[in-house]
Amino acid sequence: MAHPAPATPNNAASPSSSHRRPVPLAKAYRLLNHGPTVLVSAAHGGQRNIMAAAWAMPLDFDPPKVAVVLDKSTWTRVLLEGAGCFALQVPSRAQLDLTEALGNSSGREIVETSGRDKFAAYGLQTFAGTATDAPLLEGCVAWLECRLLPEPPIQQRYDLFLGEVIAAQADARVFANGRWNFTGHDELRTLHHVAGGHFIVDGEAVDARPLPPVQP
């Protein structure tokens, strides 16, 4: 069986390290509040995997919690349950083809047929997180490290997994002061999966103005 390659040390230069900034946990939910497709990663027992998931959402503010749907057939689910932790990362427009590939390939099958894990098979570069052993993928625009909140009945019946966010980072070029703003960085816009490999890319950021009620 393949063993995971070591992640890039936290103090080593990496493509996104100069742009990554910690996100206050009170604002971590905003990294998912606009409904992006996410990549779910986990590592356990010397194995690691990563997959795409379109159904993920924030659940709470303090402590921040998230939910993600993981089918019973996925290897990431097995690793996540074994490790008791996982990571959600928000991929960018530049990772469109990779996101589709990670969502339509089996990490278990890749290991069984080639002896390599999905990270090695697709030449993915990772870096170490600050709170979990889940591998974090370079090139994304947000990373949320989560502690699994075990709920066996809903996991089994609905394939729904809950996690408490215990560390979060984002690319400061597009997420700062608790807000997304992709102006001037089109390749970093987030992806929103519709179906069958068709995605919508996040668009313009706008702020609502106060709307007074109509006077009787």
For range 198-205, the mean pLDDT: 86
For range 56-65, the mean pLDDT: 93
CA triple 16-10-15, angle to 5 deg: 20
Q: Cα dist. 184→19, 164, 170 in Å?
A: 15, 32, 17
Q: Is the pLDDT of residue 13 over 70?
A: no
The beta-strand segments (E) located in 55-212 are: 56-61, 64-69, 85-90, 126-127, 136-137, 142-149, 160-171, 175-176, 179-180, 191-195, 198-201
**Model pTM?**
0.86
14: confidence class by pLDDT, cuts 50, 70, 90: low
Cα dihedral: 150, 152, 154, 159 (round 10): 90
pLDDT tens, residue by residue, 113-149: 999 999 999 999 999 999 999 999 999 999 999 999 9
Residues 25 and 64: their CA atoms lie apart, in Å, by 7
207: confidence class by pLDDT, cuts 50, 70, 90: confident
- Are 143 and 136 contacting, i.e. CB atoms less than 8 angstroms apart? yes
For range 158-176, the mean pLDDT: 97
